A = this chain, B = another copy of it.
Amino acid sequence: MKRSVTEARHGQADTDDLPRTVAESIYQRLRQDILWGRFAPGSPLRSDDLRSRYDVGISPLREALTRLTSERLVTSIGQRGFRVSPLTAYDVEDTARTRIVIEGEALAKSIEHGDIRWETAVVAAFHALSRNPVPKEPGPAIAGWSVCHRRFHMALLSACGSRWQIELAELLFDQAERHRLLRGKFAPAERLKRDTAREHKQIFDAAMSRDVKAAQRALEKHYLTTAKQVVAVLARVPRLVHKRA
């Protein structure tokens, strides 16, 4: 089930994916910067700016941008370059809906087929997440939590037996991560109105007691609540939904 160090597909950075090429590392940095909102949604990504910002040539830059375009974090228009994908309330809601479909199924299969190793991995991931305080605002501090958060959600699905479903879940996780982080950046207070840890515990408990329906319900609620909050922030911060930065 594990991927070797060398056979690093485009897919996702698992644990040990140290970048072997400039294109790879620039891809990760650019992606991080978009996810964390260092470029606003809709802002243009001009090659010369990026070239001096990251101190690389054009070729690996374009390669990174092309990859990000496939992941829909970046939008490209024929001879008119790249920009950070704009963000609409519809995108946020649609992402949540689609995650619920895919992860709902994958979670069910995981709960049905998961063995002791799976349980152990989920317990470990949940523990790490619980001990990691939810940070108040974006920045380097959030990186640690983000990793734990991702690991927890992915651990839940890891026994589903479907590689495609896992990869699509990862793809959508990143979309949602951008949404979350923009909420955090523009409305840090919003986050506090909510007990994320409790929501995670509900999912965890249901999964561990092998209650498929309850786990799906808890997961669905978790995602819909986040989406609702993000949409509310979007409505209050209109510049997020427009083009220029």
Contact = CB atoms under 8 A, between A and B. Distances in A.
Query: Secondary structure at chain A's binding surface: helix, strand, loop or mixed?
Result: helix
Interface of A: 6-10, 19-21, 24, 59, 62-63, 66-67, 69-72, 75-79, 90-91, 94-95, 97-98, 101-102, 105, 162-165, 168, 172
Total copies of this chain within the assembly: 2
A19 B78 CA distance: 8
Given A102-B102, A162-B94, A77 B172 contact: no
Kindly list the 10 A-B residue pairs having the minimum CB-CB distance in the complex, ordered from nearest: A20-B78, A70-B70, A98-B164, A101-B105, A10-B69, A66-B66, A94-B164, A63-B66, A94-B162, A21-B78
Nearest to A74: B10
Contacts of A62: 59, 63
A19 B79 CA distance: 10
A54 to B, nearest CB: 17
Contacts of A20: 78-79
A44 to B, nearest CB: 15
B21 A79 contact: yes
A1 B221 CA distance: 28
A94 B162 CA distance: 6
Contacts of A98: 162, 164-165, 168
